[in-house]
Amino acid sequence: MCGIVGYIGKRDAYPIILNGLKRLEYRGYDSAGIALYDGSEIQLCKTKGKVADLEAKVSKEMPTKGNLGIGHTRWATHGIPNDVNSHPHFSNSGNLVIIHNGIIENYTSIKKELINRGYIFYSDTDTEVLVNLIEDVKKNENVKLGKAVQIALNQVVGAYAIAVYDKNKPDEIVVAKLGSPLAIGIGDDEFFIASDASPFIEFTNNAIYLEDEEMAIIRLGREINIRKIKDDSLVAPYIQELQLNLEQIEKGGYDHFMLKEIYEQPSVIQDTFRGRLLADKGIIRLGGLEDYIEKFVNADRIIIVACGTSWHAGLVAEYIFEDWARIPVEVEYASEFRYRNPVITEKDVVIAISQSGETADTLAAVKLAKEKGAFVYGICNVVGSTISRATHSGTYTHAGPEIGVASTKAFTTQITVLTMIALKLAKVKGTISQSDYMLHLRELDLIPSKVSTALDKNDSIIEIAKIFKDATNFLYLGRGYNFPVALEGALKLKEISYIHAEGYPAAEMKHGPIALIDEQMPIVVIAVNSNHYDKVVSNIQEIKSRKGKIIAVVTEGDTIVRELADYIMEVPYTPETLSPLVTTIPLQLLSYHIALMLKRNVDQPRNLAKAVTVE
Ligand code: M6R
């Protein structure tokens, strides 16, 4: 994980790098650092803590002059978060300085070798090993920095996005990528380097996204020189125009990105439909799907691979694909799938779901499925992300940047895309009646306004949050389409409030979790209109007779559950098949308010990072 930023040009590098780090802090936030070239020396400042702590330290300790620099915000992999392990790292001579996002897996053996050659290590990191390896190669082979980076990277195993410069060559930064993202912003004789485009969006709309196993020598006054790390062959730069704007990556008056992103759901779901869902005409048009529809229609199975919240979206998809399109679906944790020697054939379609499009396990699952001959379809949010490029085809969710570590709008837009795919397939296969098809298209079109209505209940959810904020355990129960929503509700609560929470299919309660229920235990039950409504009511009765506290998500106008539950959170009526798109809203708000009341860092919960680019 980690975020990296760099600048070389005519402007002051410090404010650009500092602001860039603030924008990338979602990627890791246990320590931060910066290395500026001031015209003769490298000024370096780093600290355990957040970018704000770095800013405070720099203001006391470091001159901020200079037009060349690199910065880093860290999510620790090797070595605890402390000042010494923070990036950037110097080489032993003090000439080279590096930032790194990723893991060098064989760093121990390289470190031993370098120690034998007299190198001294001050940190526990794999990154310090890499910068000294580059230095060693540069010295022994008598080559320039770019060549030394290339030779060194051919000796390492692992993942990286790196930026490195030499104080004796201060018109050049060398970058390289394998497995971790790296974007280069192209200005007017100035260059920006970052893990994503957000740090430089106000300066340029032109960017190059390096591909895996590529490196670039970025030199002032020259064209960017991109090469394959393996064989040194030249790569023609492909400059993309960015779609991002500044407003999208700011909080826009909300206290937290998470709250902003929860409230953006009506509009981003609409964006996900735009030009794709023509409800009145009965048309669903998904660019990435049209050319490959036969692959889906003739598939023996659909296998969905994902992690975390995206995996929960996959579970919802299992219900809708099987229900409407009658295609068998398996939903796999990408991290298990990739190591399991799974049986996959050319008749399988694999769907990879990932907000960031960078999750290491999901990416590895994509590569494995491709190797085994499956057709692989990506559902990603981040345009141009590694997974979106690694798949054969796919659909973007168009949710806009999701910066809060807890996924919210990514989840509902993923379900929106998956719902459109399922309806389209059902229509093509003839497994859905015309009336059902048209009904669901129209209902899907109404979802943004129903999500708005669900959001309007925020005040009553704040009252419930006040009552349960000190609970130490929560259970979340749901059946059918709303079982994955129960899992997602529990994940949201635990990741941002640090309260233990478990999601279960409501009927499984009797097989164990019921033992947990006592008068203190809040149980969130999703009890909206559905084929299982009566059964959920029975589950609620069972909880009630054990004195558990019931917080029920109910359909507006419900009377039965309202009578039984201690507290209710209302959502508008939707057909059961689409209900996860609205039932998830009160659960997101409940988690947010509880975390806020407990004074948690809502956008950057402890130990987590937004893009999990390490396995
Ligand atoms: O970017 P991805 O969708 O691949 O990320 C997958 C998970 O890391 C992510 O959903 C994670 O579980 C979130 N923190 C959940 O809110």
Q: How many angstroms separate the alpha carbon of residue 143 from the centre of ligand 1?
A: 42
| Best residue among 309, 316, 414 to mutate for probing ligand 1, ranked by most atoms within 8 Å of CB | 309
Q: 362 near 332, Cβ under 8 Å?
A: no
CATH number, position 44: 3.60.20.10
Can you give the pLDDT at residue 480?
A: 95
State the amino acid at position 21 in one-letter form.
Answer: L
Q: Is the CB of 310 under 6 A from ligand 1?
A: yes
Q: How many angstroms separate the alpha carbon of residue 613 from the centre of ligand 1?
A: 11
Q: How many angstroms separate the alpha carbon of residue 79 from the centre of ligand 1?
A: 24
**How many other β-carbons are positioned within 10 Å of the β-carbon of residue 359?**
30
Residue-range definition of the domain harbouring residue 555: 456-603
DSSP 556: T
Q: Is the CB of 603 under 6 A from ligand 1?
A: no
The DSSP H or E segment spanning 227 is strand 225-228
Q: How many angstroms separate the alpha carbon of residue 382 from the centre of ligand 1?
A: 13
Q: Are residues 70 and 125 in the same domain?
A: yes
Q: 486 near 478, Cβ under 8 Å?
A: yes
| Best residue among 305, 310, 487, 492 to mutate for probing ligand 1, ranked by most atoms within 8 Å of CB | 310
Structure tokens that stand for 602 in this block:
């809502």
How many CA atoms lie within 13 Å of 528's alpha carbon, on the beta-carbon side? 28
Q: Is the CB of 577 under 6 A from ligand 1?
A: no
Structure tokens that stand for 427 in this block:
């229509």
**In Å, what is the CA distance from 274 to each residue of 357, 399, 568?**
21, 12, 33
DSSP string, 270-323: HHHHTTTEETTTTEE--HHHHTTHHHHHT-SEEEEEE-HHHHHHHHHHHHHIII
Question: Is the predicted pLDDT of residue 11 greater than 80, yes or no?
Answer: yes
Can you give the pLDDT at residue 450?
A: 98
* Closest ligand 1 atom, residue 382 Cα: 1
* Closest ligand 1 atom, residue 362 Cα: 4
Return the minimum-mean-pLDDT range out of 32-36, 407-411, 608-612. 608-612
Confidence tier at 29 by pLDDT (50, 70, 90): confident
User: Going along 369-484, which residue ranges are E strands?
Assistant: 375-380, 393-396, 473-478
Radius of gyration of the chain (CA): 25
Q: Is the CB of 406 under 6 A from ligand 1?
A: yes
Instruction: Tell the residue nearest (CA) to atom 8 of ligand 1.
Output: 308
Q: Is the CB of 204 under 6 A from ligand 1?
A: no
CATH number, position 442: 3.40.50.10490
State the amino acid at position 572 in one-letter form.
Answer: P
* Closest ligand 1 atom, residue 410 Cα: 3
Confidence tier at 246 by pLDDT (50, 70, 90): confident
Question: Is the predicted pLDDT of residue 18 greater than 90, yes or no?
Answer: yes
* Closest ligand 1 atom, residue 308 Cα: 12
Place of tokens 């409940």: 590
Confidence tier at 257 by pLDDT (50, 70, 90): very high
State the amino acid at position 490 in one-letter form.
Answer: A
Confidence tier at 77 by pLDDT (50, 70, 90): confident
Question: Is the predicted pLDDT of residue 488 greater than 90, yes or no?
Answer: yes
Q: How many angstroms separate the alpha carbon of residue 276 from the centre of ligand 1?
A: 25
Question: Is the predicted pLDDT of residue 353 greater than 90, yes or no?
Answer: yes
Question: Is the predicted pLDDT of residue 514 greater than 90, yes or no?
Answer: no
User: Going along 38-122, which residue ranges are E strands?
Assistant: 42-48, 68-74, 89-90, 96-104
Q: How many angstroms separate the alpha carbon of residue 312 from the centre of ligand 1?
A: 10
Return the minimum-mean-pLDDT range out of 114-123, 173-182, 466-475, 601-610. 601-610
Question: Is the predicted pLDDT of residue 613 greater than 80, yes or no?
Answer: no
Q: Are residues 423 and 363 in the same domain?
A: yes
β-pair type (473-478, 500-505): parallel
* 243 lies in some domain: yes
Alpha helix (H) residue ranges in 93-144 = 107-116, 126-141
Question: Is the predicted pLDDT of residue 600 greater than 80, yes or no?
Answer: yes
- The residue-averaged pLDDT of 589-593 equals 98
Higher per-residue confidence, 77 vs 430: 430
Q: Is the CB of 405 under 6 A from ligand 1?
A: yes
Question: Is the predicted pLDDT of residue 419 greater than 80, yes or no?
Answer: yes
Q: Is the CB of 307 under 6 A from ligand 1?
A: yes
Q: Are residues 13 and 146 in the same domain?
A: yes
Q: Is the CB of 355 under 6 A from ligand 1?
A: yes
Please give the share of the chain, as a percent, with pLDDT higher than 70. Answer: 100
* 545 lies in some domain: yes
Q: Is the CB of 98 under 6 A from ligand 1?
A: no
Can you give the pLDDT at residue 509?
A: 87
Confidence tier at 249 by pLDDT (50, 70, 90): confident
Can you give the pLDDT at residue 79?
A: 82
Q: 134 near 148, Cβ under 8 Å?
A: yes
Confidence tier at 612 by pLDDT (50, 70, 90): confident
170 alpha-carbon distance from chain centroid: 34
- The residue-averaged pLDDT of 173-184 equals 94
Give the N- to C-terminal CA distance of the chain in Å, as an integer.
10
- The residue-averaged pLDDT of 502-523 equals 91
Instruction: State how many domains the chain has.
Output: 3
* Closest ligand 1 atom, residue 356 Cα: 1
- The residue-averaged pLDDT of 98-120 equals 96
Q: Is the CB of 359 under 6 A from ligand 1?
A: yes
Q: How many angstroms separate the alpha carbon of residue 501 from the centre of ligand 1?
A: 17
State the amino acid at position 409 in one-letter form.
Answer: K
Instruction: Tell the residue nearest (CA) to atom 7 of ligand 1.
Output: 308
* 615 lies in some domain: no
Q: End of a domain among 248, 270, 303? A: 248
Q: End of a domain among 455, 482, 500? A: 455
Rounded CA-CA distance 346/375 in Å is: 7
Q: 292 near 351, Cβ under 8 Å?
A: no
Higher per-residue confidence, 337 vs 514: 337
DSSP string, 254-271: -SSHHHHHHHTHHHHHHH
Q: Is the CB of 308 under 6 A from ligand 1?
A: yes
Active site residues: 2, 610
Confidence tier at 505 by pLDDT (50, 70, 90): very high
The DSSP H or E segment spanning 166 is strand 158-166
- The residue-averaged pLDDT of 544-570 equals 95
Q: How many angstroms separate the alpha carbon of residue 76 from the centre of ligand 1?
A: 18
Question: Is the predicted pLDDT of residue 244 greater than 90, yes or no?
Answer: no
Confidence tier at 288 by pLDDT (50, 70, 90): very high
β-pair type (301-306, 3-8): unpaired
* 353 lies in some domain: yes
Rounded CA-CA distance 388/395 in Å is: 8
Higher per-residue confidence, 26 vs 4: 4
* Closest ligand 1 atom, residue 610 Cα: 14
* 151 lies in some domain: yes
* Closest ligand 1 atom, residue 611 Cα: 1
Q: What is the pLDDT of residues 354-405, one digit of tens each?
A: 999 999 999 999 999 999 999 999 999 988 888 999 999 999 999 998 999 9
Q: Are residues 432 and 497 in the same domain?
A: no
Can you give the pLDDT at residue 26?
A: 84
Q: Are residues 183 and 260 in the same domain?
A: no
Higher per-residue confidence, 30 vs 76: 30
Q: Are residues 299 and 217 in the same domain?
A: no
Q: Are residues 212 and 309 in the same domain?
A: no
* 171 lies in some domain: yes
DSSP 2: -
Q: How many angstroms separate the alpha carbon of residue 122 from the centre of ligand 1?
A: 34
Confidence tier at 351 by pLDDT (50, 70, 90): very high
Q: Are residues 260 and 382 in the same domain?
A: yes
Q: Is the CB of 309 under 6 A from ligand 1?
A: yes
Structure tokens that stand for 202 in this block:
């106000």
Q: How many angstroms separate the alpha carbon of residue 543 from the centre of ligand 1?
A: 31
- Nearest residue to 520 (alpha-carbon basis) of 569, 467, 585: 467
Q: 249 near 358, Cβ under 8 Å?
A: no
* 610 lies in some domain: no
How many CA atoms lie within 13 Å of 270's alpha carbon, on the beta-carbon side? 11
- How does the average pLDDT of the chain come out, rounded? 95
Sheet with 31-37, strands from edge to edge, namely 42-48, 31-37, 68-74, 3-8, 191-194, 183-186, 206-209, 240-241
- The residue-averaged pLDDT of 111-119 equals 97
Instruction: Tell the residue nearest (CA) to atom 12 of ligand 1.
Output: 308
Can you give the pLDDT at residue 347?
A: 95
Please give the share of the chain, as a percent, with pLDDT higher than 90. Answer: 88
Q: Are residues 181 and 155 in the same domain?
A: yes
Q: How many angstroms separate the alpha carbon of residue 127 from the centre of ligand 1?
A: 25
Q: How many residues does the chain have?
A: 615
Q: Are residues 483 and 413 in the same domain?
A: no
| Best residue among 75, 407, 600 to mutate for probing ligand 1, ranked by most atoms within 8 Å of CB | 407
State the amino acid at position 535 in one-letter form.
Answer: K
CA angle 505, 510, 515 (to 5 degrees): 110
* 613 lies in some domain: no
Can you give the pLDDT at residue 385?
A: 87
Q: Are residues 185 and 75 in the same domain?
A: yes
- The residue-averaged pLDDT of 243-268 equals 89
Q: Is the CB of 612 under 6 A from ligand 1?
A: yes
Q: Are residues 294 and 175 in the same domain?
A: no
Q: 182 near 4, Cβ under 8 Å?
A: yes
Q: Is the CB of 354 under 6 A from ligand 1?
A: yes
Q: End of a domain among 408, 428, 455? A: 455
- The residue-averaged pLDDT of 495-504 equals 97
**Cα dihedral 516, 519, 523, 525 sign:** positive
Q: Is the CB of 314 under 6 A from ligand 1?
A: no
